[in-house]
Chains A and B, each alone.
Chain A
Amino acid sequence: MNPHELSPDCARFRAELAGLVYDELAPDPRAALEEHVSGCAACGEELATLRDTRRMLARWETPTTSEDPRALARAIVQRAAGAPAAAPAPRRARLVRLSAVLSAVAAAVLFLLALLGTQLNAGDGRLELSFGLPGARPAPGRAPGGGLDEALVRTIANDVVDDAFVQRGAAFRQDQEELLQRYSLMSREEMQQELLRLSRAVDLALAEKERAYEQRLEALGREAVRADLEQRDRIQDLYQILPASNSDR
């Protein structure tokens, strides 16, 4: 039956059905409910199915173990006595466990930041970002003919990657240790906020990096065009000279 179709009496008694199923009603309410159920087919059916459900629940039997609880008690006492700093308060213990799980996520974010050449300073409770952009590097050279030297560009690109992996490795590890230290003191909500901030930092770093590469590409393009133009001018100068030399012969 749709609950919306229940009569006021049925609705009132239905609220007490769980008490009847588990024999927790006082004599008077019990008698009133049983009287109602005996005259109401819908409520009678509901009661029967709830009782069937209760019987079915009993099929899930009690899990048991063969462990010695006394040994367990001794282990707990030993752990409590041996590591007082690790569990000074129950809430702290929970937070440390939580941080251990989330630190993996933070480490992944930090690693990504490191790959992007982004410095992250987490000291003093503040998150500061600075970007190691490729524009700060020496300009790539040109081939003797005036075009871009592909080998040199490739070398510089490799340098950028090496920087990310090697030079920023130590800073990354230090950042991670500082963050882990901070995370051990954070609540779940604070940690969620922190991860949100890190996530935004990654977005920011990606956007900044993309913009920097586009600018660099544009600059390289302009340089290549200028080199080509200079080369053409030199060739034209040679043409100006050559006919005169031939005519001299």
Chain B
Amino acid sequence: MEPSDEELVRRHQEGDPGAFEAMVVRWNEPILQLATRLVGDLEEAKDVRQMALLKTYHGLANFEGRARFGTWIYRVVLNLCRDRKRGAEVRARTFEATVREREGDYVLEETGFHVARDRELAEIVAAAVLALPAAEREVVVLRQYHELPFPAIAEILGAPVTTVKSRMTRGLELLRTRLATLET
């Protein structure tokens, strides 16, 4: 049975050199996926991931377990991505314009997303999600792509569950409008 995150934290605090490596193996992909879908650029997302893991490494010694480890690390990534939100907004506009003009493989090349089929539609969806306001984008990405339930998202964001649900509904409505526009 795989050790829990909290168990790995305890082992790390006790000096187990393999505990942090096990955490990185577990969290590497979720962190990269979250950062990529929030900032819209794979290289910038890798930078966020490195900062997040470094922050995690420094913070583990003082991690007291008041929140779940997963909640904590998602917060770290979100905060790092928020620092780069201006760039993400600029890119989102670029993405949208690119998708509208159907100009080649720009989105795919820029983001490094591996879309196996129906690439154009995937690009449109990516552009639409990246163009969402930050509050809605965070909830949509955490719920849709990380499959976190609304109460867990509420804990990560420090917001009431009702607020999270209304952001989700608002995000879906915006996406519906945006995707309908892009498809015409």
- Chain A residues packing against B (C-beta within 8 Å): 14-19, 21-22, 24, 49-50, 52-54, 56-65, 67, 69-70, 72-74, 76-77, 79-80, 87, 89-90, 93-94, 98
How many angstroms between the C-alpha atoms of A63 and B126 in the bound complex? Answer: 11
Other-chain residue from A79, A90, A94 in contact with B59 (beta carbon distance below 8 A): A90
- Are A76 and B53 in contact, with the CB atoms below 8 A? yes
- Are B162 and A70 in contact, with the CB atoms below 8 A? no
Q: What residues of A have a CB within 8 angstroms of the CB of B121 in the complex?
A: 56, 59
- Chain B residues within 8 Å of chain A by Cβ, number: 51
Q: What residues of B have a CB within 8 angstroms of the CB of A73 in the complex?
A: 20-21, 23-25, 53
- Are B51 and A57 in contact, with the CB atoms below 8 A? no
- Chain B residues packing against A (C-beta within 8 Å): 20-21, 23-25, 28-29, 32-33, 36-37, 42, 45, 50-51, 53-55, 57-59, 80, 83, 111-116, 118, 121-122, 125-126, 129, 140, 143-145, 149-150, 162, 165-166, 168-169, 172-173, 175-176, 179
Given A60-B129, A70-B25, answer yes or no on A53-B172 (Cβ-Cβ < 8 Å): yes
**Secondary structure of the B contact surface, majority rule:** helix
Given A21-B172, A53-B175, A70-B24, answer yes or no on A59-B57 (Cβ-Cβ < 8 Å): no
B79 to chain A, nearest CB (A): 9
- Are A54 and B144 in contact, with the CB atoms below 8 A? yes
Q: What residues of B have a CB within 8 angstroms of the CB of A79 in the complex?
A: 54
How many angstroms between the C-alpha atoms of A54 and B29 in the bound complex? Answer: 22
- Are B25 and A61 in contact, with the CB atoms below 8 A? no
**Secondary structure of the A contact surface, majority rule:** helix
How many angstroms between the C-alpha atoms of A74 and B24 in the bound complex? Answer: 10
Given A18-B169, A63-B112, answer yes or no on A57-B176 (Cβ-Cβ < 8 Å): no
- Are A63 and B169 in contact, with the CB atoms below 8 A? no
- Are A72 and B169 in contact, with the CB atoms below 8 A? no
Q: What residues of A have a CB within 8 angstroms of the CB of B45 in the complex?
A: 63
B115's nearest neighbour on chain A, judged by CB, is A61
Q: What residues of A have a CB within 8 angstroms of the CB of B144 in the complex?
A: 54, 57-58
What are 24 contact pairs spanning A and B, CB under 8 A? A15-B166, A15-B169, A22-B143, A22-B168, A24-B149, A49-B176, A50-B176, A53-B172, A56-B121, A56-B125, A57-B144, A59-B121, A60-B122, A62-B33, A63-B33, A64-B29, A69-B24, A70-B21, A73-B25, A76-B24, A90-B54, A90-B59, A93-B51, A98-B83
